[in-house]
Amino acid sequence: MALFQTDGWNLNDKVVKIGGGQSKKKANKNRKRRQEEVSIDDINKLDDKTEDSKDEIRSNKDNEDKPEEKPKKKQKINKEKKSEEPKNEEPTEAPPALDLPVKSKLTPLQQKMMAKLTGSRFRWINEQLYTITSNEALKLIKDQPSLFDEYHDGFRSQVQSWPENPVDVFVNQVKERSKRPVNAPGGLPGLQKNKKIVIADMGCGEAQFSHDISKFLTQRNGGKKRGKKQYPLDIEVHSFDLKKANERITVADIRNVPLEDNSCTIVIFCLALMGTNFLDFIKEAYRILAPRGELWIAEIKSRFSDKEGEEFTKALTLNGFFHKKTDNENKMFTRFEFFKAPADIIAERKAKLERKQRFIEHEDDKDQLEIKRGKVPEGKWLLKPCIYKRR
């Protein structure tokens, strides 16, 4: 027996390192890397609403301490599978609804993947609303109310990158023009009998305009009057959209809202001309507006085929409106102002057109417009759909 040899000991055997040959520092580093990694299959499992799939994902995360074999190879295979998918295919049905864990519990990589899924679903909903009629849109939201909330979550994220929100522009316009008397030059238009300002916000979203105007009125009418005289201001806002997201909203197809003829003094379409039949919305605005009432519109610049919106302006004048102003200063959207002329102005304008032999041409143009939109909806040629690029 060799020196220092003891039964059960074999000094010729190789020493086995604890931890499978890994140092403690390296083992901790590998464990941290595995926690950051997530496969496409795990993200797709998050879409499943069943409790069984959720328990399965949780159990997989509990077993993360076990070393995986070649995790990089698994990611490479998933990328190859993803690249085999057909590109630029038009969606035929909605992407699956997302039922995801709290964002703060996800790793940075998981949060990035979730953002891509959410963005993809927002783009699908947006495309649907721009390429179907308002009646079909109302039915879609009634059947799947969650689509409304998902759309506005995505839209809110888009607006954050804009230089300004058109809703804020309209609110500020009310504030500035309220410094003058109602119905005075430069002031807000009000009803003739009581000077009440009645506003219809068509396609109001989450009724931000109504909320901000209510807050403004509380501060203006309830605060102490200092310096210049403040004229009494009575404003009523009607907010219409496809879902009653809060108590301010009335559910309606905005081509047919529950308001009487000549009952409003301002009608607003803030990025709301989304249906393929949006000229029906304009006709409804004309119906509910009182004489001298105003039509305020904000639309994304990229929607206008002629860039300046001249063809769009002409279409609205053929539906009875008089053009007041076009504001192109904003980089993202163009703002228009029209008004509904009273009978005396219409008669005066008609007389001028007859003297110049242009009235008949005007009527012919109107007929041609109706014939053209009868063949192809105006949502396909007068204003292009605002479709976000797929990424």
* pLDDT confidence of residue 93: 57
Q: Which residue has the higher pLDDT, 46 or 357?
A: 357
**Segment 284-304 mean pLDDT:** 96
Question: What would the pLDDT profile of 220-261 be if each residue is shown by its tens digit?
Answer: 887 655 556 677 799 999 999 999 999 999 999 999 999 999
Is there a single domain that holds both residue 222 and residue 322? yes
What average pLDDT score do residues 31-41 get? Answer: 52
| pLDDT tier at 87, thresholds 50, 70, 90 | very low
Residues 260 and 348 in one domain: yes
Q: Identify whether 27 is part of a domain.
A: no
pLDDT of amino acid 339 = 96
**Higher per-residue confidence, 351 vs 67:** 351
* Residue 131 shares a structural domain with residue 189: no
Show which of 159, 179, 197 is a domain's final residue: 159
User: What are the C-alpha distances in Å from 123 to residues 20, 113, 118, 390?
Assistant: 49, 16, 9, 8
Say what the pLDDT of residue 121 is: 85
- The pLDDT of residue 92 is above 70: no
Q: Give the residue from 143, 159, 175 where a domain finishes.
A: 159
> Same domain, yes or no, for 146 and 252?
no
Q: CA torsion angle for 210, 215, 220, 224 (degrees, to 10)?
A: 160
Q: Quick one: 224 and 345 in the same domain?
A: yes
Q: Which residue has the higher pLDDT, 213 or 365?
A: 213
pLDDT, residue 294, reads 98
Q: What are phi and psi of 311, to 5 degrees?
A: -65, -35
Does residue 187 sit in the same domain as residue 221? yes
- Does residue 75 lie within any of the structural domains? no
Q: Do 232 and 170 fall into the same domain?
A: yes
Domain boundary among 126, 159, 192: 159
pLDDT at 303: 92
pLDDT band at 26 (very low <50, low <70, confident <90, very high): low
Same domain flag for 141 and 268: no
Residue 389 lies in a domain: no
pTM, rounded to two decimals = 0.67
Please report whether residue 13 resides in a domain.
Answer: no
pLDDT of 354 reads 73
Q: For 297-323, what is each residue's pLDDT tens digit?
A: 999 999 998 878 999 999 999 999 999
Whichever domain contains 115, its CATH number is: 1.10.10.2150
Neighbours of 249 (CB within 10 A): 20
> Is 81 a domain residue?
no
Q: Note whether 336 and 210 are same-domain residues.
A: yes
Q: Is residue 23 part of a domain?
A: no
82 domain-assigned: no
Mean pLDDT lowest among 94-98, 126-130, 147-151, 256-260: 94-98
Q: In whole numbers, what is the pLDDT of the chain averaged over residues?
A: 78
The domain tally of the chain equals 2
How much is the pLDDT for 59?
52
On whether both 234 and 316 belong to a single domain, the answer is yes
Same domain, 253 and 195: yes
Please tell me whether residues 277 and 215 are part of one structural domain: yes
Contact at 8 Å (CB) between 272 and 203?
A: yes
Range of the domain at 153: 109-159
Examine residue 118 and state whether it is found in any structural domain, yes or no. yes
Higher pLDDT, 175 or 64: 175
Torsion of CA 304, 306, 310, 311, to 10 degrees: -80
Q: Which among 49, 43, 58, 45 is positioned nearest to 116, based on CA atoms? A: 43
